[in-house]
């Protein structure tokens, strides 16, 4: 099977496949986490499209857009090895008209937790994801639980705007020592990486507790052990459908999410837990 590289929307139309189509949107610098999404897509559809696009709209001025890792040739090898049918890698000029004005607004869920730290980020994410859905017209799209609030917002967009696509969430892939795989991990020095491990340790410490206050306290206690190498942005225990804080009486699935800066690198992680009172 041949991998087709579509560099613009005309190429993409020419590469359109038969039967069920699954889309895996990425920003490239592909790792095992992305591979697991591609395998999930492959299991669900005969035709798999991976998009590789570092979306300027979801980076604020001063964030890492210009230094975001770009490893296109290696990414193509990964896609070839995983039996991907089409890699869609448009330029920013091809994606965004210079006179564009209409975009997607994420609403309240886009403004809290991760959205409070990154104003406008989720509007940028939803706008590009909606455009990718319209361009690729997938039956299924696969997203990682690693970006739990993004996944929740995409599900919300699909429901609120009646988009004809099934959203599949895939579990977070981790290193053996617990560090969640991320394209940004390649920025980390050996010392940074050691400090970054505190995030997954904190989540594990929280996950064994049974009530919201104990979960938060146990995770916070681990974060408090971190030295100046780690600057915590937030620790939140939230309802996965809304990302509102879970109250003490909360029951059902909850997400314990954390974000922190390690040196110049901002990392996020989360675990899903069940509160049954
Ligand atoms: P990104 O390239 O970072 O925008 O991520 C593209 C997709 O891969 C998103 O749906 C992410 O949630 C997902 N992803 C990133 N890291 C992981 C991971 N460690 N495990 C599973 N999925 C991931």
Q: Is the CB of 147 under 6 A from ligand 1?
A: yes
Residue 178 lies in a domain: no
Q: Is the CB of 144 under 6 A from ligand 1?
A: yes
Residue 177 lies in a domain: no
Q: How far is the CA of 248 from the centre of ligand 1 (A)?
A: 31
How many residues in the chain?
277
- Strand, coil or helix: 221: helix
Q: Specify whether 76 is located in the same domain as 140.
A: yes
Residue 175 lies in a domain: no
- Residue 256 belongs to domain with CATH number: 3.30.1300.10
pLDDT at 277: 65
Residues of the chain with pLDDT under 50: none
pLDDT at 18: 87
pLDDT at 17: 84
Q: Specify whether 24 is located in the same domain as 65.
A: yes
Q: Specify whether 135 is located in the same domain as 201.
A: no
pLDDT tens digits along 187-207: 999 999 999 999 999 999 999
CB atoms within 10 A of CB 97: 8
Counting from 1 in the atom list of ligand 1, the atom nearest the Cα of 145 is 12
Q: Specify whether 162 is located in the same domain as 194.
A: no
- How far CA 81 is from CA of 73, 77, 78, 84, 85, in Å, comes to 13, 6, 5, 8, 11
Could you write out the DSSP letters of every residue in 60-103?
-TTSSTTTS---HHHHHHHHHHTT-SEEE---HHHHS-TT----
pLDDT at 127: 98
pLDDT at 227: 85
User: How many domains are contained in the chain?
Assistant: 2
For ligand 1, pick from 26, 48, 121, 180 the residue to mutate: most ligand atoms within 8 Å of CB. Answer: 26
CA–CA distance, 240 with 268 (Å, rounded to integer)? 16
Question: Are β-strands 166-170 and 140-144 bridged in parallel, bridged antiparallel, or unpaired?
Answer: parallel
34 included as an active-site residue: yes
Could you write out the DSSP letters of every residue in 14-57?
HT--SS-EEEEEE-S---HHHHHHHHHHHHH-SEEEEEE---GG
Q: Is the CB of 172 under 6 A from ligand 1?
A: yes
Q: How far is the CA of 30 from the centre of ligand 1 (A)?
A: 9
Q: Specify whether 11 is located in the same domain as 148.
A: yes
Domain of residue 262: give its range.
Answer: 183-275
Question: Are β-strands 47-52 and 21-26 bridged in parallel, bridged antiparallel, or unpaired?
Answer: parallel
Q: Is the CB of 218 under 6 A from ligand 1?
A: no
CA–CA distance, 25 with 21 (Å, rounded to integer)? 13
């Amino acid at each position: 099977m041949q991998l087709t590289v579509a560099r613009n929307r005309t190429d993409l139309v020419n590469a359109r496949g038969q039967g069920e189509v699954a889309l895996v949107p990425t920003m490239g610098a592909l790792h095992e986490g992305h591979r697991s999404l591609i395998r999930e897509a492959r299991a669900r559809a005969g035709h798999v499209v991976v998009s590789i696009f570092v979306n300027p709209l979801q980076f604020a001025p001063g964030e890492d857009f210009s230094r975001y890792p770009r490893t296109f040739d290696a990414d193509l090898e990964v896609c070839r090895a995983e039996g991907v049918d089409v890699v869609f890698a448009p330029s920013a000029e091809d994606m965004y008209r210079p006179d564009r004005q209409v975009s997607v607004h994420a609403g309240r869920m886009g403004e809290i937790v991760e959205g409070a730290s990154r104003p406008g980020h989720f509007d940028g994410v939803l706008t590009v994801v909606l455009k990718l859905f319209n361009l690729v017209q997938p039956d299924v799209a696969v997203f990682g639980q690693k970006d739990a609030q993004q996944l929740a917002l995409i599900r919300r967009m699909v429901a609120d705007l009646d988009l004809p696509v099934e959203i599949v969430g895939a579990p977070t892939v981790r290193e053996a020592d617990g560090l969640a795989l991320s394209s940004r991990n390649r920025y980390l020095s050996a010392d940074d990486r050691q400090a970054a491990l505190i995030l997954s340790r904190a989540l594990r410490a929280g996950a064994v507790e049974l009530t919201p206050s104990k979960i938060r306290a146990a995770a916070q206690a681990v974060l408090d052990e971190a030295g100046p190498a780690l600057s915590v942005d937030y620790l939140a225990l939230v309802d996965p459908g809304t990302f509102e804080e879970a109250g003490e009486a909360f029951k059902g699935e909850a997400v314990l999410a954390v974000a922190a800066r390690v040196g110049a690198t901002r990392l996020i992680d989360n675990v899903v837990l069940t509160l049954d009172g």
